[in-house]
Amino acid sequence: MSDNATRLTGTSFAVLTLIELLGPSTPYELKQALERSIANFWMVPHTTFYAEPTRLVKGGFLSERQETGGRRRKVYSLTDAGRSVLEAWKCSAELTPPQLREEGVLKIFAGADPVPVFRARCDWHRAKLAELEGYLEAVTGEDPAWEGVRASLVVGVAYTRMMLEAMEGFLESQAATGSP
Amino acid sequence: MSDNATRLTGTSFAVLTLIELLGPSTPYELKQALERSIANFWMVPHTTFYAEPTRLVKGGFLSERQETGGRRRKVYSLTDAGRSVLEAWKCSAELTPPQLREEGVLKIFAGADPVPVFRARCDWHRAKLAELEGYLEAVTGEDPAWEGVRASLVVGVAYTRMMLEAMEGFLESQAATGSP
DNA sequence: GAGCTATAGTACGGCCCGTACTATACACAT
DNA sequence: ATGTGTATAGTACGGGCCGTACTATAGCTC
């Protein structure tokens, strides 16, 4: 009946999911996988991410053992409790609202000129698009267990491309009316 | 030379901008304005938001006085330091990367069926779109100082509509192929 | 075997934030 | 005038988050 149970956040489920996909893993392996996938739609700073497995062990959702050679890193595996909360989360229909933090729009709100803001964001989204397409290419033809991984990258690519096209359209329309 | 200066986050600039627009304000007035505008692209939980003016006073960016009647609420105003960091931020070209946290894609990554996820998100975006259109209508024809407010709401409406259409398109294509 | 660079983390302190609770104002019935 | 319901306007608390700075090991190269 303890009420200070480990709170499970999106970051927790990100870690659990990665271990389910990869099998027993070290924190760095998890982090590498994260950055090529989940981090693009569920951002986690690395210091938070490294802390998460420890929390999950404390909550009984992961078990931990030490590598015997090399750096003697810790290797984490799912426990039955971990597997079961992960399954429950996947099946549940509940979704926390999407959270967006876009400093560019904040500046526009404050009265800044939208053109440089969108130009900067176009560059950012162009780079991101190339990055995501690279990740997607790397997982095509993989194991069917990775279907969700592929699907999420497809969503990410579509989203990024949509944003990029919308902003490019805006900038072109501005260029047409802005200067003679 | 103190190096533990108050860190200024997006939330800080949100508060500073709102006070610049509204003039001296109480926390609740700021929160009301926030929810009808900024919170849609820079989410802040209310407990964080209520704490922010206190931090900004400590940093010297806001000054504080007490209402004399009624609830004797605190009224915050910009100091010169506050006005100056706000201006510097508006003019600077730097932007932190856009931060997205979308639990739906996380579930798809984990292998969940995308259809219920997108259906839930469609409902959410439809409601959000109606809400934003309401806010936008409420500020049309206002003071020219509110130009940025209008522009940011226009961006928000365009974004939400784009997301909605993309998801509806996906669901229709699924319906066409998924069942006979 | 010293230095360089990439890899693989930890320490710390301030900030964030979800849950729960508090408190005041106003309406309207009693 | 007093109860009681509801919207308004917050505060308390403790664990989680996170940016900056630092540390440490592995392999490479000279």
pLDDT of residue B145: 87
Q: Give me the residue label for tokens 């030379």.
A: B1
Chain B nearest CA to A90, separation (Å): 6
Q: Inter-chain contact B41–A102, Cβ cutoff 8 Å?
A: yes
Task: Give the span between the Cα atoms of A149 and B111, in whole angstroms.
Answer: 8
Residue B104: list chain A partners with CB under 8 A: 95, 98
Interface contacts A/B by beta carbons within 8 Å: 165
Task: Report which DSSP code applies to B41.
Answer: T
Range in A63-77, A161-175, B31-45 the model is least confident about: A63-77
Chain A nearest-CA residue for B116: A93
CA atoms within 13 A on the CB side of A123: 8
Q: Which of B121, B155, B122, B123 is CA-nearest to residue B136?
A: B155
The whole-model pTM stands at: 0.91
Give me the percent of chain A exceeding a pLDDT of 90: 82
Radius of gyration (Cα) for chain B, nearest Å?
Answer: 20
pLDDT band at A125 (very low <50, low <70, confident <90, very high): very high
User: Which residue is the nearest neighbor of C23, CA to C1'?
Assistant: B71
Chain A nearest-CA residue for B144: A111
Point out the nucleotide closest to A9 (alpha carbon to C1′).
D16
The answer to whether A125 touches A165, Cβ cutoff 8 Å, is: no
Task: Give the span between the Cα atoms of B7 and B13, in whole angstroms.
Answer: 11
Rounded, the Å distance between the CA of A96 and C1' of C17 is 14
* Mean per-residue pLDDT, A34-47: 95
Task: Give the span between the Cα atoms of B167 and A67, in whole angstroms.
Answer: 45
Q: Which of A95, A161, A177, A84 is CA-nearest to residue B106?
A: A95
Q: Inter-chain contact B109–A43, Cβ cutoff 8 Å?
A: no
User: Protein footprint on strand C: which nucleotides are under 7 Å from a CB?
Assistant: 7-20, 24-25
Residue A106: list chain B partners with CB under 8 A: 10, 13-14, 17, 38, 41-42, 152
Instruction: Pick the residue of A40, A102, A142 with the most B CBs within 10 A to test the interface with B by mutation.
Output: A102
pLDDT of residue A1: 38
Q: What is the mean pLDDT of chain A?
A: 91
Token pair belonging to B61: 């960016």
Would you give per-residue pLDDT tens digits along chain B (180 residues)?
334 678 999 999 999 999 999 999 999 999 999 999 999 999 999 999 999 999 999 999 999 987 655 566 789 999 999 999 999 999 999 999 999 999 999 999 999 999 999 999 999 999 999 999 999 998 887 688 899 999 999 999 999 999 999 999 999 998 887 655
Residue A136: list chain B partners with CB under 8 A: none
